[in-house]
Amino acid sequence: MRRWSAALAVAAVVLAAGCSSGGGDGDGAASGEPVKLRFLSLAWQKESITANKQLVDEWNKANPKIQVEYVQGSWDNVNDQLVTSFEAGDAPDVIHDDSPALSGFAARGFLLDLSSSLPSELKSDIPQAAWDTVTFGDGKGGQGVYGVPFLQESQVLYANKKLLDASGARMPTPDEPWTWDEFAEATKKMTKSGAYGVAWPMKSPVNKVLTLGLNFGGTFFTTEGGKTRVKVGAEEREVLSRIHDQLYKDKSADPSALGMGTADPLPGFFGGKYAIVPAGVYLRQQVAEQAPDGFEWVTLPPLKGVTAEQGATSQTLSVAADSKHAQEAVKFISFFLNGPNQAKLAKGDWLLPTSTSAAADPAMTQKENFWDVATASAKNLVVAPYLKVDGYDEWKSKVATPALQEYFADKISLDEVAKRLVEEGDKVLERYGR
């Protein structure tokens, strides 16, 4: 899963540009001047930036007493930069981030608990499963809601329609997706001389493995008595072994694709080297824009193991705890993330809106560019188990990423990767007091 973008070339975040306090002009309302809010946006695709700026302009025209300054940021190192700005007391009022980052910020008191301040229309329009991705401990033994979740992604399959049709494999639908067994058989049929049935880009393997692991009930973490440990049992091993089998048993997956980033297999996909590429729904944009004339492609729904469930994280909007205009910030967020506006934002980012009314928007259900398949996949998203794990980021970077890369490169066995994930992982989690 991408960190909401591949390798971004957007400028670094300017968190405190032109402003010396967290809420802008703190006495704006008293002086008769408009309240000024800073909105840090991490939108990066052209369509998405346009949609964000249009909504800010619409708000400013309709609300002359509450003016929002759009601050363009980047996903690159944003959380380190936010920590600096929080500690200096000059954080933006409204903060775009993703749900894995919120837990630590909430525990340190940097974010406002929105539990009692959001309008009921917004609360009811977003399913509880999405709210679960932004509900964390407050560092004092309680729980709070520290952001409004508005965009999510699922993992789907991109297939060369000509090769798929020629294989004779069943065309899966959202109601009847492929099982992992059907997927394995289909990729074997599509593997010919010089061509592979599937490319697994595993430069960043952890989120992808953990997301798909839920197909078989694999959570990779378990908590008992308030203590969290890494778990790699039969359920977690299913996806690991199935991908490994495609690489080295069936030989239907190309080992040379393992070091690639998510979009890197696309030239091979367009050239007929790969029949299928698994990736997030956002990749539809690059496929649609870069596919050569005459190339036919389809988006296939998420695979099914025991279930088709996948782990979900969310893009979020939060309010800085030190904002001098928190009430106005909540009003802006409530406008920005209403149903029609979420549909615009999702369309610009080629992602899934959390809003149920947005998901029903004709733009989200049209067949063009397989929006219907992408939007239908949202029903499979459940809260990612690792969202609640203190120390997950360190486990991911220092333990899981190198171990999984070695396993998929066939340098270590399934038993060895399981042992490393658990033993080295538990040592990491111990340092976080869990």
Whether 433 shows a pLDDT value over 80: the answer reads no
273 and 139 inside one domain:
no
Asked if residue 4 belongs to a domain, the reply is no
**Domain count across the chain:** 2
> pLDDT (tens digit, 9 = 90+) per residue, 195-248?
999 999 999 999 999 999 999 999 999 998 888 999 999 999 999 999 999 999
What confidence tier does 21 reach under pLDDT thresholds 50, 70, 90? Answer: very low
> pLDDT (tens digit, 9 = 90+) per residue, 29-59?
556 799 999 999 999 888 999 999 999 999 9
Asked if residue 137 belongs to a domain, the reply is yes
374 and 242 inside one domain:
no
pLDDT at 6: 39
> pLDDT (tens digit, 9 = 90+) per residue, 279-322?
999 999 999 999 999 999 999 999 999 999 999 899 999 999 99
Domain span at residue 202 reads 155-311+387-430
pLDDT at 153: 94
* CA–CA separation, 280 and 259 (whole Å): 17
Mean pLDDT of all residues in 418-433? 94
338 and 305 inside one domain:
no
279 and 190 inside one domain:
yes
* CA–CA separation, 232 and 328 (whole Å): 46
Whether 379 shows a pLDDT value over 80: the answer reads yes
169 and 104 inside one domain:
no
Helix ranges (DSSP H) in 275-325: 284-290
Bridge partners for 252 per DSSP: none
Task: Say what percent of the chain tops pLDDT 70.
Answer: 92
* CA–CA separation, 156 and 308 (whole Å): 11
Tokens read off for 259: 């070091």
* CA–CA separation, 55 and 82 (whole Å): 24
What confidence tier does 10 reach under pLDDT thresholds 50, 70, 90? Answer: very low
303: nearest Cα among 251, 364, 207, 377: 377
Q: Does residue 301 sit in helix, strand or coil?
A: coil
Mean pLDDT of all residues in 12-36? 54
Largest CA distance in the chain: 75
Rounded to the nearest integer, the mean pLDDT of the chain is 91
Mean pLDDT of all residues in 161-165? 97
Whether 26 shows a pLDDT value over 70: the answer reads no
Burial pattern 223-236, b for ≥16 Cβ within 10 A else e, equals eeeeebebbbeebb
Bridge partners for 37 per DSSP: 68
Higher pLDDT, 148 or 81: 148
Tokens read off for 229: 């440990």
Asked if residue 8 belongs to a domain, the reply is no
Tokens read off for 313: 């994280």
pLDDT at 385: 87
57 and 134 inside one domain:
yes
Asked if residue 186 belongs to a domain, the reply is yes
Mean pLDDT of all residues in 159-186? 97
Bridge partners for 157 per DSSP: 278, 300
Whether 167 shows a pLDDT value over 90: the answer reads yes
33 and 126 inside one domain:
yes
Whether 13 shows a pLDDT value over 70: the answer reads no
Asked if residue 163 belongs to a domain, the reply is yes
Higher pLDDT, 388 or 415: 415
Task: Say what percent of the chain tops pLDDT 90.
Answer: 82
196 and 290 inside one domain:
yes
* CA–CA separation, 363 and 371 (whole Å): 8
pLDDT at 298: 98
What confidence tier does 8 reach under pLDDT thresholds 50, 70, 90? Answer: very low
* CA–CA separation, 341 and 221 (whole Å): 36
Tokens read off for 279: 């990736």
